[in-house]
Amino acid sequence: MQRRELFSSLASSLKGKNKQEKFLRPPYFSDESLFQSECHKCEAKCATICEEEIIKIADDKTPYLVFSHNGCTYCDECVNACEYEVLTLENKQHLNAIITINKSKCVSWEHTMCFSCKDPCLDNAIDFKAMFMPEINDKCTSCGFCVNRCPTDAIDIKVL
């Protein structure tokens, strides 16, 4: 278990069990309820086919994404593996998340040159003002490649 996963699980257990946890889902669905009604019939083929190894299976047997090692390339392989049409190409979209940079954690915002988030960005979605102060622009697809590269965990993911 990675340090980030450990702290996330500890933090989520402290938040209480009244709140329904929101999962970051693969980018090919239209109806969240299909995960609950269909995914338990499957053998988690979407997770086994994912070349980036970012699809994990929750206790309720539904897929969710974890960016602790890689990001989503939108390769469509999870869709091809989905037998129950929870994920379909017709519903291809950006991930259901907003990615932001936490300025209080970011070393670049503290005037230390760092391009750790920009370098892996496939979409040129991170702009720097005067070589410092990174901001995510509207080209962001929420792919998550920047998340695990940040040395200070300054990339925040808000699941919609």
- Is residue 30 within 8 A of residue 39, CB to CB? The reply is no
Q: In terms of pLDDT, which residue wins out, 8 or 36?
A: 36
Residue range 96-160, CATH number? 3.30.70.20
Six-digit token string for 150: 């940040």
Integer angstrom CA distances of residue 41 from 20, 37, 46, 76: 22, 8, 13, 21
Q: Where are the domains of the chain?
A: 3-7+21-91, 96-160
Identify residue 41 by its one-letter amino acid code: K
- Mean pLDDT of all residues in 132-146: 95
- Mean pLDDT of all residues in 38-49: 95
Task: Tell me how far apart the alpha carbons of residues 149 and 158 are, in angstroms, rounded to a whole number.
Answer: 18
Give the pLDDT confidence of 67-79 residue by residue, as tens digits. 999 999 999 999 9
CA nearest 54: which of 45, 44, 64, 40?
64
The CB density around residue 57, as the number of other CB atoms within 10 Å, is 16
- Is residue 27 within 8 A of residue 34, CB to CB? The reply is no
Residue range 3-7+21-91, CATH number? 3.30.70
